[in-house]
Amino acid sequence: MSDTTENSRRSFLTRGGTGWALFTAASVAGLGMCVRFLFPNDPFEPATKFKVGYPADFAASVNGVVDKRYKTRGVWIVRNLDGFYILSTVCTHLGCTPNWLEAERKFKCPCHGSGFYATGINFEGPAPRPLERFKVSLAPDGQLQVDKGKKYQQEKGQWEDPASYLAMEYTA
């Protein structure tokens, strides 16, 4: 068996090993690119932080008036005599969007019948916990600002957090 420099066992293993290593690395890189391609840099989703108008634009009542104007942005704005809070429109059962039924004063989910009071507390159907609330504050220009990036869950006691509501007495 000839063992020349050009064709020795050592050089065969080195070349073969390098070749396979490069091939594997290229395959993994290619596969990684394919997977990464499926995660867009910008999915063009609406901003999670937005202004919804001046406090004076909202009507109030003792038990709260539910404002549905920003439902397509995923929030209900509720105004009672003490202030504001923002409810998520995502049902805590399986993620459908409930409807506000003014006559019955409740949020009713069309998917599986979960019901919530204007406070967001669940009282009927399969929903296991209350609707979530979002951060609300006053922007420098005096408008209400909703931040969906920060959520507050009642069952975790987070509704006690001052940032989960905006205290502002109603003066008609």
CB of 39 to other proteins, least distance (A): 6
Tokens 């995502």: give the residue.
Answer: 90
Quickly list DSSP for 79-140: EBSSEEEEEESS-TTTS---EEETTTTEEE-TTT--EE-TTS-EEESS--SPPPEEEEEE-T
What would you report as the CA-atom Rg of the chain, rounded to the nearest whole angstrom?
28
CB of 110 to other proteins, least distance (A): 8
Q: Which is nearer to other proteins, 21 or 94 (CB)?
A: 94
Is residue 9 near other proteins by the rule CB under 8 A? no
Residues 49-88 as x/- pattern, contact with other proteins by CB under 8 A:
----------------------------------------
Residue 45 to residues 41, 59, 68, 94, Cα–Cα distance (Å): 11, 30, 20, 21
The yes or no reply on residue 39 touching other proteins (CB under 8 A) is: yes
| Touching other proteins, residues 90-129 (CB under 8 A) | 94-96, 110-111
Nearer to other proteins, 39 or 62 (CB): 39
Name which of 56, 72, 77 is nearest 145 in CA terms: 77
Of 3, 6, 45, 141, the residue at the interface with other proteins (CB under 8 A) is 45
Report if residue 38 touches other proteins, rule: CB under 8 A: yes
157 scored as a contact of other proteins (CB under 8 A)? no
Half-sphere exposure of 66 (CA within 13 A, CB side): 22
Query: Per CB under 8 A, does 34 bind other proteins?
Result: no
